[in-house]
């Protein structure tokens, strides 16, 4: 019997995920909680085998941060990250945290039970790529890593100088990246472009 | 008196002196040139001139007894082509050397050149000695100083003191900048132009200390600065909006998820309508009756969940911590309800969570007592557990250490007491909490 903990800030999502997983007899749902920050407590007595962890959870707690902490202290616990946001960096951050699986709630055709089954049988299950989202005239897959970093910091409200300091590049180079982004997306206004990135959920900051 | 009637020694002496003057003049001229630009041509020329002069005098002494040929002796003794070449060479050299000298002198800076240059500067500029006495000042300085102070600048020290201490001329106002620069003052004139006065101490080697006073017209710069300030303000607002939008997106996403679940239930209901209609018309078997009933029950359950209260309020989040603690075998006893301001603070919830995690992980605690005291303008939370006491002195590490540092930065503290039981004491000033 695999003991599963569901972490999701939405009661409805908790219910639906629970009802999906309960179809599998091998899985036993031992709890549903709303904040990722509380997930570690469940692992203290070794009661959990698998955690299905939402990324943006209650208390503004990031599932990714909690997952990294849990994997560090309890490497035996398997974690599948779940999100309905196509945020560019989530998959990489989940891999860096050591999570075994990743499931897009609303994108792609992969069923949750398939992901769970692959994780339990083979160990790892990640989508091949992030969902392709349209930002202005460009697709989300057309942007480079550096461009995403620049947009992310712009969304954080940082100036060109501050972004340059953070990324160890000159403000002139930051300006070059912004111009590149504007040229790809077709936006004239930087802030409108950043808003679009945020509205398309490609950039999610402010997660603890 | 006829020159030719003079005694031979007189003619020789005169010609000798003439040769010395002639040669010496060349020599001096060349030394002057060489002082600036020494090269091999000058050296060769100098040597040749010296040889020529010496030879000329020597020849005069040799033929001193030939009074009648005194003036022609050179042609007699020295073959004429050599003489012509030497003379031509020296004449040519003289012309070139003089031309160079004229050009060199023409290129030299003189006081008048400096004066003209600083008068053409768009800024006002005044160099004065250490007592403020002007040494060099341009017309713009006089004009700008007149506009700002209303008088002609006579002493740079007095002028600066007046700018600092006295009111400027009528209609002129001093501009206060956000970040005042030392030794820099800005004034707005009645016509809207902006002048910036700067003062700098200079020390020139071999000459001593000097004071440099400048007045620049920065009207355009000032306008651009204001424009940049306005643009920056707009950017600040936009950045704030972007941050708020990011915050809202998490909520929006949550709502979208709920909506997606509702759509799913709606679709399930839609799929159930036809079989239910068939059932009501009496076209269903008993098994189908049961199946349809079961599916409607499931839909009703889902509806119940959708209608259920949303997770996420602070007190529920705290309760979630206590519930999990109980599930993992650690009971939390709370003497009294914590005030809303304390519960709604994420740091406090995190401190309680860390306290429980530490008590269970390191102390194997099964009971935790949570109490609170109010001491004037601060709350003190006590989190005591029945776990095993640490051996030796307890040192905060990991999450607890990070939390302690974060709380300290906000004005709170976390202390550990291990006298009788393990106790975590969290001291929180009320002004740190929202709603206090």
pLDDT (tens digit, 0 to 9) for every residue of chain B, 436 residues total? 555 566 666 766 666 666 666 666 666 666 666 565 555 666 666 666 666 666 665 655 555 555 454 454 444 555 556 656 766 776 677 677 667 767 877 787 778 888 888 899 999 999 999 889 999 999 999 999 999 988 888 899 999 999 888 888 888 888 887 777 778 899 999 988 999 999 999 888 878 899 999 999 999 998 998 898 898 888 888 878 877 777 777 777 777 777 777 777 777 777 777 778 777 777 777 777 778 887 787 777 766 666 554 545 778 888 888 888 888 888 888 877 788 877 888 888 888 888 888 888 888 888 888 888 888 788 888 888 888 887 777 777 777 788 888 888 888 888 888 777 888 888 888 877 766 6
In chain B, residues with a C-beta closer than 8 Å to the C-beta of A202 are none
- Best CA proximity match to A51, nearest among A68, A59, B312: A68
Whether B360 sits inside 8 A of A45 (CB atoms) is yes
In chain A, residues with a C-beta closer than 8 Å to the C-beta of B247 are 206
In chain A, residues with a C-beta closer than 8 Å to the C-beta of B242 are 154-155, 157, 191, 194-195, 198
CB B403 within 8 A of CB A69: no
Chain A interface, best mutation among B312, B325, B326, B358, by max A CB count within 10 A: B312
Report the distance separating Cα B20 and Cα B34, nearest Å: 20
* Cα Dmax for chain A: 59
- Determine the pLDDT at residue B277: 78
Whether B246 sits inside 8 A of A159 (CB atoms) is no
In chain A, residues with a C-beta closer than 8 Å to the C-beta of B258 are 10, 12
Whether A11 sits inside 8 A of B311 (CB atoms) is yes
> Mean pLDDT throughout A31-35?
88
Cα-atom radius of gyration of chain B, to the nearest Å?
51
Chain B interface, best mutation among A157, A195, A205, by max B CB count within 10 A: A157
Chain B interface, best mutation among A38, A65, A82, A189, by max B CB count within 10 A: A38
Report the distance separating Cα A175 and Cα B221, nearest Å: 23
State pLDDT tens for residues A49-67: 999 999 888 877 889 999 9
> What letter would DSSP give residue A169?
S
State pLDDT tens for residues A67-125: 999 999 899 999 999 988 888 788 888 999 999 999 888 665 568 888 898 888 888 88
Around Cβ B51, how many Cβ atoms within 10 Å?
12
**A118 burial class (0-12, 13-18, 19+ CB within 10 angstroms)?**
middle
Closest approach of chain A CAs to the CA of B309, in angstroms?
Answer: 8
Q: Does A59 touch chain B (CB under 8 A)?
A: yes
In chain B, residues with a C-beta closer than 8 Å to the C-beta of A158 are 239
CB B54 within 8 A of CB B60: no
Query: Which residues, numbered 144 to 183 in chain B, qualify as contacts with chain A under a Cβ-Cβ cut-off of 8 Å?
Result: none
Whether A11 sits inside 8 A of B302 (CB atoms) is no
> Mean pLDDT throughout A34-52?
88
**Where are the extended beta strands (E) located within B190-282?**
194-204, 208-217
Q: Does B190 touch chain A (CB under 8 A)?
A: no
Report the distance separating Cα A99 and Cα B279, nearest Å: 48
- Best CA proximity match to B359, nearest among B299, B420, B296, B422: B422
Whether A191 sits inside 8 A of B249 (CB atoms) is no
Interhelix angle A63-73/A90-97, nearest 10 degrees: 20
- Determine the pLDDT at residue A164: 92
Whether the predicted pLDDT of A32 surpasses 50: yes
Whether A58 sits inside 8 A of B317 (CB atoms) is yes
- Best CA proximity match to A131, nearest among A102, A162, A104: A104
Q: In this prediction, what percent of chain A has a pLDDT beyond 90?
A: 28
Q: Does A195 touch chain B (CB under 8 A)?
A: yes
- Determine the pLDDT at residue B40: 63
Chain A interface, best mutation among B250, B255, B326, B330, by max A CB count within 10 A: B250
Q: What are phi and psi of A62, to 5 degrees?
A: -85, 130
- Determine the pLDDT at residue B38: 54
Nearest CB to A59 within list B305, B308, B346? B346
- DSSP H stretches of helix in chain A: 11-21, 39-43, 63-73, 90-97, 112-122, 145-155, 160-167, 171-185, 190-199
- Determine the pLDDT at residue B311: 45
Nearest CB to A198 within list B240, B242, B357? B242
Q: What are phi and psi of B395, to 5 degrees?
A: -120, 130
In chain B, residues with a C-beta closer than 8 Å to the C-beta of A41 are 321, 324-325, 328, 353, 356-357, 360
Report the distance separating Cα B20 and Cα B56, nearest Å: 9
- Best CA proximity match to A208, nearest among A81, A70, A36: A36
A vs B: CB pairs below 8 A: 129
Nearest CB to B249 within list A158, A191, A204? A204
Whether A10 sits inside 8 A of B257 (CB atoms) is yes
The residue of chain B nearest to residue A55, with distances taken between CA atoms, is B250
């Amino acid at each position: 019997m695999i003991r599963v903990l569901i972490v999701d800030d939405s009661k409805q999502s908790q219910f639906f995920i629970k009802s999906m997983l309960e179809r599998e007899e091998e899985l036993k749902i031992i709890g549903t909680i709303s904040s990722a920050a509380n997930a570690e407590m469940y692992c203290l007595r070794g009661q959990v085998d698998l955690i299905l962890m939402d990324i943006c959870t209650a208390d503004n707690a990031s599932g990714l941060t909690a997952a990294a902490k849990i994997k560090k202290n309890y490497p035996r616990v398997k974690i599948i990250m779940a999100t309905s946001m196509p945020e560019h960096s989530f998959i990489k951050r989940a891999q860096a945290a050591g999570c075994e699986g990743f499931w897009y709630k609303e994108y792609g055709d992969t069923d949750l039970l398939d992901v769970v089954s692959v994780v339990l049988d083979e160990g790892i299950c990640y989508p091949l790529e992030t969902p392709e989202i349209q930002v202005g005239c460009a697709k989300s897959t057309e942007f480079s890593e550096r461009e995403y970093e620049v947009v992310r910091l712009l969304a954080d409200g940082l100036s060109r100088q501050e972004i340059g300091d953070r990324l160890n590049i000159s403000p002139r180079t930051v300006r070059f990246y912004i111009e590149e982004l504007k040229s790809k997306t077709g936006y004239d206004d930087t802030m409108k472009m950043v808003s679009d990135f945020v509205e398309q959920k490609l950039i999610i900051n402010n997660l603890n | 008196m006829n020159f030719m009637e003079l005694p031979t020694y007189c003619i020789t002496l005169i010609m000798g002196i003439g040769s010395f003057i002639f040669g010496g003049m060349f020599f001096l001229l060349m030394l002057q040139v060489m002082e600036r630009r020494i090269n091999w041509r000058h050296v060769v020329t100098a040597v040749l001139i010296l040889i020529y002069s010496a030879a000329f005098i020597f020849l005069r002494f040799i033929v001193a007894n030939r009074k009648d040929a005194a003036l022609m002796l050179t042609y007699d003794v020295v073959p004429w082509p050599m003489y012509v070449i030497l003379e031509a060479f020296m004449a040519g050299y003289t012309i070139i050397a003089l031309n160079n000298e004229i050009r060199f002198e023409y290129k030299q800076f003189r006081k008048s050149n400096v004066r003209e240059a600083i008068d053409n500067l768009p800024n006002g500029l005044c160099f004065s000695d250490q007592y403020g006495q002007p040494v060099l000042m341009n017309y713009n300085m006089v004009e700008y100083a007149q506009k700002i102070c209303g008088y002609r600048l006579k002493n740079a020290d007095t002028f600066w003191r007046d700018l600092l201490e006295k009111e400027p001329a009528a209609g002129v106002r001093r501009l206060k900048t956000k970040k005042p620069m030392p030794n820099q003052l800005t004034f707005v004139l009645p016509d809207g132009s902006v002048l910036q006065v700067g003062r700098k101490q200079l020390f020139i080697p071999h000459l001593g200390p000097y004071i440099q006073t400048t007045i620049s017209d920065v009207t355009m710069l000032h306008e651009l600065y204001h424009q940049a300030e306005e643009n920056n303000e707009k950017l600040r607002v936009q950045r704030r909006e972007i941050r708020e939008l990011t915050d809202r997106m998490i909520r929006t996403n949550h709502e979208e998820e709920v909506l997606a679940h509702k759509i799913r239930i709606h679709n399930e209901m839609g799929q159930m309508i036809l079989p239910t209609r068939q059932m009501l018309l009496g076209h269903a078997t008993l098994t189908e009756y049961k199946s349809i009933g079961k599916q409607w029950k499931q839909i009703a359950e889902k509806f119940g969940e959708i209608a259920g209260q949303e997770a996420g309020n602070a007190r529920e989040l705290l309760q979630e911590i206590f519930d999990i603690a109980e599930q993992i075998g650690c009971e939390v006893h709370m003497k009294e309800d914590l005030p809303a301001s304390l519960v709604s603070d994420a740091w406090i919830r995190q401190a309680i969570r860390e306290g429980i995690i530490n008590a269970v992980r390191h102390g194997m605690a099964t009971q935790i007592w949570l109490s609170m005291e109010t001491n004037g303008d601060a709350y003190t939370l006590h989190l005591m557990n029945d776990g095993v006491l640490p051996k030796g002195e307890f040192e905060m590490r990991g999450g607890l250490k990070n939390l302690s540092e974060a709380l300290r930065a906000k004005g709170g503290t976390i202390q550990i007491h291990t006298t009788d039981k393990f106790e975590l004491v969290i001291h929180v000033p009320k002004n740190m909490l929202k709603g206090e």
